Amino acid sequence: MEITANLVKDLREKTGAGMMDCKKALVETSGDFEKAVDYLRKKGIANASKKAGRATKEGSVSSYIHGEGKVGVLLEVNCETDFVARTEQFRKFVKDVSMHIAAASPQWVRPDEVPAEIIAKEKEIALAQMAASGKPAAVLEKIAEGKIKKFYEDTCLLNQVYVKDTSKTIEQLLKEQIAVLGENMSIRRFARFTLGEGLKEETTT
C-alpha cells in the first residue's frame, strides 16, 4: 500500500504523534492504518505530543557521577506535578538520560539551541568539501542539509540515538515516558564535566 502524505497526516491527527513517527509506523505496518495506531501506542508515542503544550514547572535537578569520579553530569528534567517527579519511573528516566549524557557527550539539548554561526560554519565546510564534485548547486545544498542533520544527531541530546537502546532516539524515549506517566515532560538543560577538561598541561624546562 502506498504511504501518502494524507495518510500520515490522518494518523498524526488521530494519535498526536510526530510526522516522522507516523510515517515510520505506517512503513513498519505496510500502510495498515489501525495497525499503525497500535504500533504507536505500543511504542508509547501516541498521544504524547498532545501533552506538549502543558506547563512543566516541577521535576528535579539530579547529579550522576561516572567512572570513579572522572565524569559528572547535572541534569534538569521538568514535569507537571511533584507527584510524578517523585515516582520511581521518573527517577529512572532521569538517571538513564544522565548516563547517556555521560557516555555520548552531547553539547546541546535540541537543535534550536545551536548557535546560528556554528550551523553556518558546518554548512560552509560541507559545501567546500564537495566544491570539486561538479554536482549541481541544488544537489550540493541537499547533501549539505543531510550533513547538518547528521551534525544534530551527533551533538544534540534529543536527536542522539539512545546508547542503551539504539532503536530509538532520546526524544523518542522522552515521548514514551510522557505516555507512560501521563504528563508532559521536558529535558531543560544539562552540564557535563570531565576531570581535567580545559586544563593546560604544565611544561617543564
Q: How far is CA 190 from the centre of its chain?
A: 13
**Domains of the chain (ranges, CATH numbers):** 5-47 (1.10.8.10), 51-110+156-194 (3.30.479.20), 115-155 (1.10.286.20)
In tens, the pLDDT along 9-53 reads 888 777 766 677 788 889 988 888 888 888 887 776 655 655 655
pTM for this model (two decimals): 0.71
In tens, the pLDDT along 151-201 reads 999 999 999 999 999 999 999 999 989 888 888 899 999 999 999 887 776
**Would you place residue 202 in the very low, low, confident or very high pLDDT band (cuts 50, 70, 90)?**
low
> How many C-beta neighbours within 10 Å does residue 38 have?
14
In tens, the pLDDT along 173-185 reads 999 898 888 888 9
What does the block give as the cell for 102? 555521560
What does the block give as the cell for 1? 500500500
Whole-number Cα distances in Å, 28 to 32, 91, 179:
9, 31, 20
Phi and psi dihedrals of 68, rounded to 5? 55, 40
